[in-house]
Structure 1
């Protein structure tokens, strides 16, 4: 890292004050880190998988020891309520590392159904040096989703946290060293996406890269992979997820409105699976809007360090301006703001937007189609199943969705027709560590997070074809196995 590397100041979203300043890793720093990872990769891959798993289990134990510290770092850097970090994000990160540690010796191959003249064996192998670019909204949890399968499969991983939220991931790297992971196996490279991230995407020695973030940055990562070495790419680029309420949805009572609010307003709507489009059967539309607004208005908006806070600030003032602009444009197009919509002065210097519910938003407007990444939802009526499927699927995104109906046939039929990677029924959930997570359409491609499916993006298959001694000899010119 050169002396000219830029300094980055991290500011507290709660009040806009500076927390600390760090030196960004530049292109030279990336090149050096990739070289160290390349030196460590053969030995790490050659370890018995169970040994790798034991090191990762120790890392999970140390994360558990420092759970309160990790939660505090994520809360202060990202503005997320401390209760959410303590009860949600940090336990999920620990679970991910521990689960993949236990899967390290379970990356299995297969044997092809050949005749008795040959044996076809397929095995999976680590790619070698890999990279991951993290978002700011779930820094520790997203890091664990990528670290777990990458290291379990035998890779060395270079992690670039988001500029605004590096500290929990930096502490995680320190814990990895304490757990006994060799130098170069897990390296954290804080810096700007346009410099540090681009250098990782374009380095030909990096053989795989996983990215979670915006579509604009995802395109740059994909381009970097293409101009360098056609490295394997996995992209998760957000969503505009629908919540679909069928005619009988009100039978769920208050549970319905509580789940809808969580889906829409968790992390102040700064969540890639946020259920920001609510489609409601026209016969229950007014009751649903009233019920959602009643819950939204009770949410406690406040300082993220206060355990009573349910919604914290947006990450910065620019995010607040984008959200307010999207709402204003919708109103200009005929929409009505039922509650919220404007910033409130909770803490001086912070960017606080209350839970916002909008009806009659223009179908072709930004609020109905773009990922606003704020606590703003649109609610619209539909007449029948075909119409709501058309509404749900017209988005360029396809990450998540939910369907509410007590009629099992209806619920499962609608779930099948919705174009999304995760569809929850009568709840709003991304599943757990045992289920794959990934998007359709422009929400992403290239591999899933979580579950055994996540191991595929960090490994490559190899076929070993063994001709047995009992095979008849083949004279020159005799037909051989087909070739492309």
Structure 2
């Protein structure tokens, strides 16, 4: 088939080498476009994680990476970024066949952004330093910022490339070593990036990639006594288990970026056409498999009817199909499990009494394709309004006042993102300060930047990716005190 790459890397990457799992087990990774097996991948279990952690521990305790000047780490990270760009078409195709992502988007956005993330944190690698304090008690006091140690990264399947580098880049810049488990649904690009890391000159043991399942390899990472910190992105339910395992082992610090049920609020003064475009992109981008998806759309009553009419007019022309086709706007859901889950939520919505305005059906005879789906007459306590569906399903509701909109927006256990569409600065400022979410977008969507911290409120987790806040997750502060002349400590 056109654009299908040869799968070169199928084994675990431990201590700079591709190796079989100890058990010899493998698992299938499936093309969601065709429902056919792409290849067999070595399956990491607890024994493999132990070997990977031992390699990472050796690399941290005795290897060059944590002791290397930040500028030297930066050179290697920049070289890795250049190698990624040279292989952009191949790695974009891997994420397309493995996760159903749009090839054009991977090639023009995700993969270039991965290189940008590496260069951003490479720029910070030689600027990590503590502070010097003048104390009231005649102490010469200063702080050191030191790498936290061996880090365990567990990443999701919806953005396999972006999430890989969101975790790996700042921890590398900090001087950490790591063991990373990609999602079992999308392991191919992570293994390819490990190969490029070796080519770039990242020392053996610094980056270890162990594909496998959460119940085995993931659990081994979170409970491992020799892993010093864990960074996890995924569901709230799994995040709770990660936190429990970390607490019951060596009390390692955890950062969690979890689920979302993000609202977008459209006010009467909004440009309705723009609001419709934002709402559709906000729920259909990446086939709705986005933690910050605008899954709950609240429209003020003065423009509600116009909005509802125009959203149907535009969604009719939304193109679902093969993600290699440049005309396609929405590919298949990543897996059969996710496909079935979304369809079951659509049935819940019907049974709960919501009105199916558009869509709701499977597309085609083969592949995990689902129509864009819009529900109206949705009550706030319905399952489709409360649970994270993680698919192309929009719930559309009407509101009267600003206070009502704020109450509806906050009526969820999540707090990851929110959108506001208005031309009134007073409304924008009022609502921005009232919604409990980690990022608010005014008249835009998916406006991320490497400088912009990203994370959640409430059950959407804690800790921040991006920005220097992410770098500090992988550093710890050491205070050093020396008494000086006439100090009471002498």
Shorter-chain TM-score bucket reads over 0.9
Report the Cα offset of residue 4 of structure 1: 2.8
Residue 130 of structure 2 corresponds to 109
Q: Which of these residues, 130, 145, 154, is aligned with residue 133 of structure 1?
A: 154
SS where residue 28 of structure 2 aligns? strand
Deviations 1:77-124 (A, max 9, x none): 000111111122111111111111111011232233524822221221
Residue 261 of structure 1 corresponds to 280
Establish whether residue 370 from structure 1 lines up as the match of residue 391 from structure 2.
Answer: no
Residue 476 of structure 2 corresponds to 460
Establish whether residue 284 from structure 1 lines up as the match of residue 303 from structure 2.
Answer: yes
Question: Contact conserved, 1:430 with 1:437, CA < 8 A, in 2?
Answer: no
Q: Which of these residues, 59, 65, 79, is aligned with residue 40 of structure 1?
A: 59
How many residue pairs align between the two structures?
469
Establish whether residue 157 from structure 1 lines up as the match of residue 189 from structure 2.
Answer: no
Residue 230 of structure 1 corresponds to 251
Q: Which of these residues, 417, 438, 441, is aligned with residue 400 of structure 1?
A: 417
Residue 486 of structure 2 corresponds to 471
Report the Cα offset of residue 230 of structure 1: 0.7
Deviations 1:25-84 (A, max 9, x none): 111111111111111113311111111111101100100111111111001100011111
Q: State the distance in 2 between where 1:333 and 1:187 align.
A: 46
Residue 424 of structure 1 corresponds to 441
- Distance change >3 Å, CA 3–CA 473, structure 1 → 2: closer
Establish whether residue 357 from structure 1 lines up as the match of residue 374 from structure 2.
Answer: yes
Establish whether residue 192 from structure 1 lines up as the match of residue 213 from structure 2.
Answer: yes
Establish whether residue 26 from structure 1 lines up as the match of residue 48 from structure 2.
Answer: no
Question: Contact conserved, 1:198 with 1:221, CA < 8 A, in 2?
Answer: yes
Runs of 4+ in 1 over 6 A off after TM superposition: none
Q: Which region of structure 1 is more displaced relative to structure 2, 175-184 or 299-308? A: 299-308
SS where residue 153 of structure 2 aligns? strand
Establish whether residue 70 from structure 1 lines up as the match of residue 86 from structure 2.
Answer: no
List aligned pairs for 1:144-183, cutoff 5 A.
Answer: 144-183=165-204
SS where residue 22 of structure 1 aligns? strand
Q: Which region of structure 1 is more displaced relative to structure 2, 75-84 or 310-319? A: 310-319
Residue 55 of structure 1 corresponds to 76
Q: Could you tell me the TM-score, scaled by structure 2's length?
A: 0.93
List aligned pairs for 1:84-99, cutoff 5 A.
Answer: 84-99=105-120
Q: Which of these residues, 348, 352, 356, is aligned with residue 333 of structure 1?
A: 352
Q: Which region of structure 1 is more displaced relative to structure 2, 311-320 or 17-26? A: 311-320
Q: Which of these residues, 446, 451, 454, is aligned with residue 467 of structure 2?
A: 451
Q: State the distance in 2 between where 1:5 and 1:441 align.
A: 41
Establish whether residue 218 from structure 1 lines up as the match of residue 239 from structure 2.
Answer: yes
Residue 391 of structure 1 corresponds to 408
Q: State the distance in 1 between where 2:184 and 2:195 align.
A: 18
- Distance change >3 Å, CA 158–CA 472, structure 1 → 2: closer
Residue 382 of structure 1 corresponds to 399
Question: Contact conserved, 2:354 with 2:378, CA < 8 A, in 1?
Answer: yes
Q: Which region of structure 1 is more displaced relative to structure 2, 362-371 or 179-188? A: 362-371
SS where residue 338 of structure 1 aligns? strand
* Structure 1: gaps (5+ residues): 476-484
CA RMSD of aligned residues (A): 1.4
Report the Cα offset of residue 141 of structure 1: 0.6
Q: Which region of structure 1 is more displaced relative to structure 2, 360-369 or 418-427? A: 360-369
SS where residue 279 of structure 1 aligns? strand
Deviations 1:248-299 (A, max 9, x none): 11xx253322222111110110001100000111111111112222222211
Residue 100 of structure 2 corresponds to 79
* Structure 2: gaps (5+ residues): 1-19
SS where residue 256 of structure 1 aligns? helix
